[in-house]
């Protein structure tokens, strides 16, 4: 059974292993992402240099690719990091920011899906609908679709890629193509801090780096559990941070503190998780 004790076990695993998570991410969120990984108990590495990315990826425990600011050098770095990670069996997590918004982003996503094997994808409903080949609507990087609207698309995409797919929103929906879990933790004020969605993807990378194996091999069930744990911890930290916060600036500082201080009692008392 997937419950609070499972979430806590995954968080303990991250804190014990202190995984190195390489982020080839957008230039809006690097600082927030790095600080969140440190507060969680992971170790961040960042690069946008193609000559650096492949070598760094081979040293990492997980690689996170984020197309939010898709400069050509960033994209080349993503291909090099993703392929180097694949060669060593290191999990790769994709955040397809505003995937369907422009022809260039559409081309980048198509090439990443062709050339890099993904362990997980996290995006909002509009992004997941686009990546799955369906029509979603967005306002910049923000979704105008509810997460449940992308559930069928997420299942189909997960099955096709052999990846875990997370659709984030008021309810975070996670699927491996068969089972579906929903996390209802979080707070609306989190949407007023740029980059917290991207930060969620980085946390998925940290948890995926520590996902339990099955008979010494990669297991999609382990990745499903790890992704769900990451989204639960993310939502819980945001929920606690928003309590009595006068605005999003305070929330961001408290969010980092909440990640750092999270314990089993808090998870047990506040987790909102359901099989869908």
Whichever domain contains 131, its CATH number is 3.40.1190.20
**Tally of domains in the chain:** 1
CA distance 232 to 227: 9
The neighbouring-strand residues paired with 166 are 122, 174
Residue the block writes with tokens 């987790």 = 271
Sign of the dihedral defined by the CA atoms of residues 233, 234, 235, 240, in that order: positive
Query: What is the residue-averaged pLDDT of the chain?
Result: 93
pLDDT tens digits, one per residue of 167-203: 999 999 999 999 999 999 999 999 999 999 999 999 9
Q: Are strands 92-95 and 120-124 parallel, antiparallel or unpaired?
A: parallel
Q: What is the mean pLDDT of residues 156-164?
A: 96
Binding residues: 46, 122, 168, 195
pLDDT tens digits, one per residue of 60-93: 999 999 999 999 999 999 999 999 999 999 999 9
Q: To 10 degrees, what angle do helices 196-209 and 220-242 make?
A: 140
Residue the block writes with tokens 């996290």 = 122
Task: Please classify residue 229 by burial: count the beta carbons closer than 10 Å to its beta carbon, then call 0-12 exposed, 13-18 middle and 19+ buried.
Answer: buried
Binding residues for substrate: 46, 195
pLDDT at 138: 47
Closest CA to 129 of 159, 105, 98, 103: 98
CA distance 274 to 276: 6
Please provide residue 185's backbone torsions phi and psi, each rounded to the nearest 5 degrees: -80, 160
Tell me which residue range forms the domain holding 192: 4-275
Q: pLDDT band for 100, please (50, 70, 90 cuts).
A: confident
pLDDT at 2: 85
Binding residues for ATP: 122, 168
pLDDT tens digits, one per residue of 1-24: 689 999 999 999 999 999 999 999
With a pLDDT cut of 90, the percent of the chain lying above it is 88
Q: Evaluate whether 95 touches 126 at the Cβ level (below 8 Å).
A: no
pLDDT at 148: 81
Q: How many residues are recorded in the chain?
A: 276
């Amino acid at each position: 059974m997937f419950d609070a004790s499972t979430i806590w076990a995954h968080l303990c695993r991250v804190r014990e292993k202190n995984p190195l998570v390489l982020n080839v991410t957008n230039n809006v969120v690097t600082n927030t992402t790095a600080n969140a990984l440190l507060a969680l108990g992971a170790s961040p590495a960042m690069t946008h240099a193609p000559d650096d990315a492949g070598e760094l990826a081979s040293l990492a425990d997980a690689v996170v690719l984020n197309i939010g600011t898709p400069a050509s050098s960033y994209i080349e770095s993503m291909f090099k990091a993703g392929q180097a990670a694949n060669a060593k069996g290191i999990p790769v997590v994709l955040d397809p920011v505003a995937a369907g918004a422009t022809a260039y982003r559409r081309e980048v996503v198509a090439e990443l899906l062709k050339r890099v094997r993904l362990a997980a994808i996290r995006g909002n409903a509009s992004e997941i609908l686009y990546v799955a080949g369906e029509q979603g609507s967005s306002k910049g990087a923000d979704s105008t679709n509810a997460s449940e609207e992308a559930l069928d698309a997420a299942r189909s995409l997960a099955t096709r890629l052999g990846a875990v797919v997370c659709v984030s929103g008021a309810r975070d929906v996670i699927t491996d193509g068969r089972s579906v879990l929903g996390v209802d933790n979080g707070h609306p004020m989190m949407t007023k801090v740029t980059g917290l969605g991207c930060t969620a993807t980085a946390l998925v990378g940290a948890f995926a780096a520590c996902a339990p194996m099955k008979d010494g091999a990669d297991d999609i069930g382990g990745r499903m559990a790890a992704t769900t744990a990451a989204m639960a911890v993310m939502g819980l930290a945001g929920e606690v941070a928003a309590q009595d916060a006068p605005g999003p600036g305070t929330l961001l500082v408290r969010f980092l503190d909440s990640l750092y201080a999270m314990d089993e009692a808090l998870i047990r008392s506040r987790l909102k998780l359901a099989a869908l």
